Amino acid sequence: MNTKTTDAVAVGIAEDAEKNNEKNDLIKLSTGVILKAKTVSTFVLTEVTRRHKRPRPPVVVDEDKGRKMENPSDPVYLDELSDWETNVANSTMGAVILFGTEVSSVPKDFTKPDNDDWIDELEILDIEVDKNSKKSRYLAWVKYIAAPHQSDLEKIMTSVSRLTGVTEEDVSNAVDSFRDDAE
């Protein structure tokens, strides 16, 4: 092969690889909406998680042992821990959607983020969306309209995590490792 042919083949291979990579970054949701996955700064994910203070178990006096001990079985603490886990998961998912996705395509007859009807319906349920913020609209639209199933959210998280270089196990472990600043 001559140099021009070799260069043309190399360019063609690179273009094919880029097209295939782009396809791998596309997330098709159950609604037919297609999002493009993007890398998210790990600093954003860390900061979002850090802002939620993990509750501490109450300390009780163990009369038999004659010392103070944490009681991780306390029902109030377990409720607080459950709320904390939910808040961290919701905040992390919000960051992943907001920073790690963008709309690639929306089916012809499907509600688009710039339509106000879906926002009006959410507001009837006391779910507020800032109509004047493009990013707030987008986040709410993906969460409540475009990705209605748990499997949609899992696809988003998996695709963005892969691009970001963070495994789902790493994300889960990071959440578990954060403690109250006092600890």
pLDDT of residue 15: 44
- Looking at the domain assignment, is residue 100 inside a domain? yes
- Pairwise CA distance, residues 97 & 94, whole Å: 5
The angle at the Cα of 156, spanning 155 to 159, to the nearest 5 degrees, equals: 80
Amino acid at 20: N
- Looking at the domain assignment, is residue 1 inside a domain? no
pLDDT of residue 170: 62
Q: How many domains does the chain have?
A: 1
DSSP 144-179: III--SHHHHHHHHHHHHHHHT--HHHHHHHHHH--
Instruction: Give residue 171's domain range.
Output: 24-177
pLDDT of residue 168: 59
- Pairwise CA distance, residues 170 & 157, whole Å: 12
- Looking at the domain assignment, is residue 127 inside a domain? yes
- Looking at the domain assignment, is residue 17 inside a domain? no
- Looking at the domain assignment, is residue 16 inside a domain? no
Per-residue pLDDT for the chain (183 aa), expressed as one digit of tens each? 544 443 444 344 434 434 444 457 999 999 999 999 999 998 999 899 899 999 999 988 888 878 888 889 999 999 999 999 999 999 999 999 999 999 999 999 999 999 999 999 999 999 999 999 999 999 999 999 999 999 999 999 999 988 988 765 665 554 454 434 334
Write the burial class of residue 4 (CB in 10 Å: 0-12 exposed, 13-18 middle, 19+ buried): exposed
pLDDT of residue 182: 33
pLDDT of residue 172: 54
- Looking at the domain assignment, is residue 88 inside a domain? yes
- Looking at the domain assignment, is residue 7 inside a domain? no
**Cβ atoms of residues 37 and 93 within 8 Å:** no
Which own/partner pairs from 50-59 qualify as long-range (CB within 8 Å, at least 24 positions apart)?
50/178, 51/91, 52/84, 52/87, 52/88, 52/91, 52/178, 53/84, 53/180, 53/181, 54/81, 54/84, 54/178, 54/179, 54/180, 55/80, 55/81, 55/84, 55/180, 56/180, 56/182, 56/183
- Pairwise CA distance, residues 67 & 77, whole Å: 20
pLDDT of residue 23: 55
pLDDT of residue 167: 65
pLDDT of residue 173: 53
Adjacency order of strands within the sheet including 26-28: 26-28, 34-37, 101-105
- Looking at the domain assignment, is residue 30 inside a domain? yes
Which H or E run includes 88?
Answer: helix 75-100
Q: Cβ–Cβ contacts within 10 Å for residue 157, how many?
A: 21
* DSSP conformation class of 142: I
